């Protein structure tokens, strides 16, 4: 019987770690969060803000019971992920086991390699000595977000009319996309003019551009064009030559990995994080949720050794490079880097041995390139800038030659053009033949829509969300139907405009970027034990409940006007009076069910064999209740069509195929969103 128990989140990680620790240890997985707030209720006491966490599923109950038996009188190592969410899972487990286990320690694995894991286990502190501020920060976020979502979503849905979801972090992200779309819609292109001359020397042609790259007035552009057209030569006025060095970028953080994988590999942030999770759990990269750019001294030593052997001494700077994170706290962790310092062919081999996919290798290759390049020599360019005089006007051209590729041997940015632009040998005062000239009218362009990568960058710039949440934010706003992907861009739907306009009028604070940033900073202080998480929640609760609710919703107004038309009544004098309007609706509202409702109830009665009493067919409220009951009955034998199954599979929802009620709910919302987009 194993003497020690290690608890992690993922079964895959558990298997990997078990190999390293051997028979003295049993490694068990919680399978993610095993406790959470209840699904169908607030789950928070609104006076004390104490949350009510429940075990998520019967499988989680079974897992917990097994771990409790295993941990009895044993030494336990809680080794859930090294971030707030991971610590929270660990804390819940600590609470469950503290009266059963002999001793509970906290182990933080930043890479799944034998050496690292054994070192961490050896030095693991007692759980009681770890930073409970991490759990408090988790509580602040989870409870605060629940209160905002559960308080404001029903109000927004009722007042706008439809189904709307409000989130402390998701709503500012939707605002960004809506604002960008409005900028694009309101953009008026203005013309500008670009003037170039084509010169030739030694049978080599090259372009030179007028010193003002954008000429705003057409008359000015045409005047210069006319003046230079009389000239057959350009005179070399000035030559500047200098050596330019380009430094490599730091290794990846969560945000920069998501941005680069989005632009280079066209991976969504969600996909990037899923692949990175697998690479981490299989021991191929360090922990993938981090905003640190620091690499450990030991890893730097291995990287430098690898560069020297693989590329030669000239590719190795005399001193190791060190990178500083913007947030000094971040440096407690490392950047995302490879864990095996071997060439790409061997990295590919490792991916295959672990049974991972081609996409896993593409992401690993990106991390490998950025890790190695971050410790390599500068790239060195020789840059020549020449100013020409043509008919008294200055034209400029630049030539660039890569003299030493340095880190570019391994890593190129997607936007970089590395081709040399070589100019013929030129001397000051020399006349060069002008063979052509061009005047082009161009139009200013609107700002581009956000891509998933550029949205992550913007969220990070504004301080909205944290490394572990960027992918979830983007997935949520897509799933809720606020954003659709067109090509590589994110486009807001009509619902997004409606929601942001509503929040802007009634709950401006929810979509205030600065407020959202300050709340994220508040949680950082909670993590450092400098602030109380309940203060965070209290502020969100007070703001969520402190609004003069719109007495007359758009839905109520529309219903009243429809009734007025039906009954031939003029209600223009009471449209601003909520009491009178409510009275009018009460007096004139329809109590009989619609023909559509009656037909639907009858078809359900046939399918289910349930009795449909006459009085139900006469009363709108009664028929609603009867239909809900009959629908539940019908669900017991309902079979999804092949077409419905295909839609679920195409949208990655195949897990709903055996849950028809949930599947239909999802399909209904999917088709509604699709209809709105059209």
Instruction: Supply the residues annotated as catalytic.
Output: 287
Tell the burial category of 248 from Cβ atoms under 10 Å away from its Cβ (0-12, 13-18, 19+).
Answer: buried
| Beta carbons of 5 and 102 less than 8 angstroms apart | no
Distances, alpha carbon 584 to alpha carbons 562, 567, 595, 615, in Å:
12, 11, 24, 26
Dist CA 335 CA 289 (whole Å): 9
Who contacts 256 (Cβ-Cβ below 8 Å, separation ≥6)? 249
Neighbours of 559 (CB within 10 A): 17
Half-sphere exposure of 611 (CA within 13 A, CB side): 3
**What angle do the packed helices 133-156 and 494-506 form, to 10 degrees?**
100
CA–CA separation, 606 vs 613, rounded Å?
A: 13
Closest CA to 338 of 376, 300, 309, 312: 300
- The phi, psi pair for 339, rounded to 5°, reads -110, -20
Interatomic CA distance for residues 347 and 283, integer angstroms: 12
Ramachandran sector of residue 457 (left: φ over 0; alpha: ψ -120 to 50; beta: rest): alpha
**Can you read off the two tokens belonging to residue 471?**
């992918």
CA pair distance 79, 130, nearest whole angstrom: 12
CA-nearest of 303, 347, 321, 326 to 255 is 326
Number of Cβ within a 10 Å radius of residue 298: 10
C-alpha to C-alpha distance for 430 and 234, rounded to whole angstroms: 8
Q: How many CA atoms lie within 13 A of 117 on its CB side?
A: 27
d(CA 167, CA 280): 30
Per DSSP, the three-state class of 359 is helix
Tell which residue, 65, 62, 66, has the closest CA to residue 26.
Answer: 66
Distance CA 321, CA 371 (A): 12
Parallel, antiparallel or unpaired: strands 103-106 and 191-201: unpaired
Q: Give dist(CA 434, CA 243) in Å, integer.
A: 29
Question: What token pair was written down for 154?
Answer: 């029903």
Strand order in the sheet with 4-8: 25-29, 4-8, 75-78, 103-106
């Amino acid at each position: 019987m194993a003497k020690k128990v290690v608890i992690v989140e993922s079964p895959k990680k558990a298997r990997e770690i078990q190999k390293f620790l051997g028979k003295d240890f049993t490694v068990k997985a919680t399978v993610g969060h095993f406790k959470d707030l209840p699904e169908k209720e607030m789950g928070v006491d609104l006076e004390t803000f104490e949350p009510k966490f429940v075990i998520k599923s019967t499988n989680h109950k079974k897992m917990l019971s097994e771990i409790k038996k295993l941990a009895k009188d044993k030494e336990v190592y809680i080794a859930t992920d090294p971030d707030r969410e991971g610590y929270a899972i660990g804390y819940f487990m600590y609470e469950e086991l503290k009266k059963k286990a002999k001793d509970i320690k906290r182990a933080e694995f930043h890479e799944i390699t034998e050496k690292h894991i054994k070192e961490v286990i050896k030095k693991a502190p007692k759980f009681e000595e770890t930073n409970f501020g991490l759990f408090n920060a988790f509580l602040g976020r989870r409870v605060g977000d629940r209160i905002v979502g559960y308080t404001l979503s029903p109000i927004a849905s009722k007042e706008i009319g439809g189904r709307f979801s409000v989130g402390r972090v998701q709503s500012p992200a939707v605002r960004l996309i809506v604002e960008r779309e409005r900028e694009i819609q309101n953009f008026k292109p203005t013309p500008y003019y670009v003037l170039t001359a084509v010169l030739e020397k030694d049978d080599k042609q090259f372009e030179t551009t007028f010193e003002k790259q954008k000429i705003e007035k057409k008359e000015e552009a045409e005047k210069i064009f006319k003046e230079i057209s009389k000239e057959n030569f350009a005179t070399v006025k000035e030559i500047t030559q200098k050596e330019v060095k380009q430094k490599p970028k730091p290794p990846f953080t969560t945000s920069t990995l998501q941005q680069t994988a989005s632009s280079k590999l066209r991976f969504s942030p969600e996909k990037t994080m899923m692949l990175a999770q697998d690479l981490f759990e299989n021991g191929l990269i360090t922990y993938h949720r981090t905003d640190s750019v620091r690499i450990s001294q030991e890893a730097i030593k291995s990287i430098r050794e690898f560069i020297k052997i693989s590329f030669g001494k000239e590719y190795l700077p005399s001193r190791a490079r060190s990178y500083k994170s913007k947030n000094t706290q971040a440096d407690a962790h490392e950047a995302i880097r490879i864990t095996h310092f071997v060439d790409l062919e061997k990295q590919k081999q490792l991916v295959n041995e672990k049974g991972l996919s081609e996409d896993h290798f593409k992401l690993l290759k990106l991390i490998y390139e950025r890790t190695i390049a971050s410790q390599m020599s500068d790239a060195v360019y020789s840059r020549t800038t020449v100013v020409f005089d043509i008919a008294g006007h200055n034209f400029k051209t630049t030539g660039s030659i890569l003299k030493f590729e340095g880190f570019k041997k391994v890593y190129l940015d997607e936007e970089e053009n590395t081709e040399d632009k070589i100019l013929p040998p030129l001397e000051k005062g020399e006349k060069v033949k002008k063979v052509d000239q061009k005047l082009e009218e161009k139009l200013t362009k609107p700002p581009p829509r956000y891509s998933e990568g550029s949205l992550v960058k913007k969220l990070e710039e504004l301080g909205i969300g944290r490394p572990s949440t960027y992918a979830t934010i983007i997935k949520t706003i897509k799933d809720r139907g606020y954003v659709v992907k067109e090509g590589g861009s994110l486009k807001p739907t009509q619902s997004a405009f409606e929601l942001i306009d509503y929040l802007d009028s009634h709950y401006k604070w929810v979509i205030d970027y600065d407020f959202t940033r300050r709340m994220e900073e508040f949680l950082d202080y909670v993590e450092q034990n400098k602030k109380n998480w309940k203060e965070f929640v209290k502020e969100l609760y007070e703001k969520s409940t402190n609004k003069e609710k719109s007495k007359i919703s758009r839905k109520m107004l529309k219903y009243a006007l429809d009734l007025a038309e039906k009954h031939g009544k003029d209600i223009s004098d009471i449209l601003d009076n909520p009491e009178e309007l409510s009275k009018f609706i009460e007096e004139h509202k329809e109590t009989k069910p619609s023909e559509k409702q009656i037909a639907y109830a009858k078809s359900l009665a046939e399918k289910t064999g349930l009795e449909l009493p006459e009085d139900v067919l006469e009363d709108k409220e009664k028929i609603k209740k009867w239909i809900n009951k009959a629908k539940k009955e019908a669900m017991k034998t309902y079979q999804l069509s092949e077409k419905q199954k295909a839609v679920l599979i195409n949208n990655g929802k195949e897990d709903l195929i055996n849950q028809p009620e949930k599947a239909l709910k999802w399909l209904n919302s999917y088709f509604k969103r699709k209809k709105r987009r059209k």
